[in-house]
């Protein structure tokens, strides 16, 4: 099995790439990730933690698989791979549940896209990031061409995409590719702690916030203000909103996910 998913008692979905060999994405892995995303959706999880087994998180597409296919089959095969991979990203980024990514070692190609899709991105201090696509004559997938310019700006994005230079974990933090850099031996633990903390929060409000931020780059200020006002009014009368205010006034911890007070 190339991708595993386990939902714990806190309703955190632990999704792990576990193919070995840098967790290179072949068709089976892309389909496995799609099924894992569907499981997160079915289980209505409260947070998702995405990790990669082994010394490297994900080195991108499986060039051994791609290179073994004749030209007349390769284009269709890559379409199948990206259909599954992009389907998984659509689900994971569309959930109310926040996505936490924890990466180590080599992160390249589609691995970079998976990393950037996280709302919180943890990187081990030994992680290195490379776009890699144009170095083999390919163009980006996995949302890289959409996410990268939004995180680092279009000029820096083109620098990374055209030169394929390696970005260290420290630089990735500085330019906004990841949220936090931690010691390699602490990566899993700190990312899991963050996912559990998010799982205790207001999942509905997280989902609205994710969508507002995602839409901010294509929406004018006036439209964004209207969207914020409408969503805030809805949140205020939701079970989460009523519970959050009641807890604040009572000086207690909110019980999100439980029945709100009348």
Report which of 152, 56, 175 is spatially closest to residue 107, judged by C-alpha positions.
56
pTM across the whole model: 0.91
CA 44 to chain centre: 17
Is beta strand 3-7 parallel, antiparallel or unpaired with respect to 180-182? unpaired
Q: Please give the structure tokens belonging to residue 9.
A: 């008692």
Task: For the domain made up of 3-199, give the CATH fold.
Answer: 2-enoyl-CoA Hydratase; Chain A, domain 1 (3.90.226)
Contact 100, 119 (CB under 8 A): yes
Residue range 3-27, pLDDT digits in tens: 999 999 999 999 999 998 899 999 9
Residue range 178-199, pLDDT digits in tens: 999 999 999 999 999 999 999 9
Q: What is the pLDDT of residue 262?
A: 35
Q: CB-based burial of residue 137 (10 Å sphere; 0-12 exposed, 13-18 middle, 19+ buried)?
A: exposed
Q: Please give the structure tokens belonging to residue 224.
A: 């964004």
CA 91 to chain centre: 10
Q: What is the pLDDT of residue 218?
A: 87
Q: Please give the structure tokens belonging to residue 76.
A: 């269709």
Q: Residue 259's pLDDT band (boundaries 50, 70, 90)?
A: very low
As a whole number, mean pLDDT of residues 119-126 equals 97
Report which of 116, 204, 98, 219 is spatially closest to residue 161, judged by C-alpha positions.
116
Mean pLDDT of the chain: 94
Residue range 23-39, pLDDT digits in tens: 999 999 999 999 999 99
Residue range 54-73, pLDDT digits in tens: 999 999 999 999 999 998 89
């Amino acid at each position: 099995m190339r991708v595993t998913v386990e939902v714990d008692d806190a309703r955190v979905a632990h999704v792990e790439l576990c193919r070995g060999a840098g967790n290179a994405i072949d068709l089976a892995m892309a389909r496995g990730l799609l099924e894992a995303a569907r499981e997160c959706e079915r289980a209505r999880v409260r947070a998702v933690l995405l990790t990669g087994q082994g010394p490297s998180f994900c080195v991108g597409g499986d060039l051994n698989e791609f290179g073994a296919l004749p030209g007349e089959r390769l284009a269709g095969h890559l379409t199948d791979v990206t259909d599954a991979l992009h389907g998984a990203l659509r689900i994971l980024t569309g959930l109310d549940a926040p996505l936490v990514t924890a990466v180590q070692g080599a992160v390249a190609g589609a691995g970079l896209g998976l990393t950037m899709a996280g709302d919180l991105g943890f990187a081990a201090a030994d992680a290195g990031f490379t776009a890699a696509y144009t170095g083999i004559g390919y163009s980006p997938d996995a949302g890289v061409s959409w996410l990268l310019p939004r995180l680092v700006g279009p000029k820096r994005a083109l620098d990374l995409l055209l030169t394929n230079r390696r970005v260290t974990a420290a630089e990735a933090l500085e330019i906004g590719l990841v949220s936090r850099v931690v010691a390699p031996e602490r990566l899993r633990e700190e990312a899991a702690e963050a996912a559990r903390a998010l799982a205790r929060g207001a999942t509905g409000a997280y989902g609205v916030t994710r969508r507002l931020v995602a839409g901010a780059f294509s929406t004018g200020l006036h439209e964004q203000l209207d969207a914020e006002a409408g969503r805030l009014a809805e949140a205020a009368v939701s079970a989460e909103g009523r519970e959050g205010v009641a807890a604040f006034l009572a000086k207690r911890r909110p019980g999100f996910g439980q029945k709100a007070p009348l």
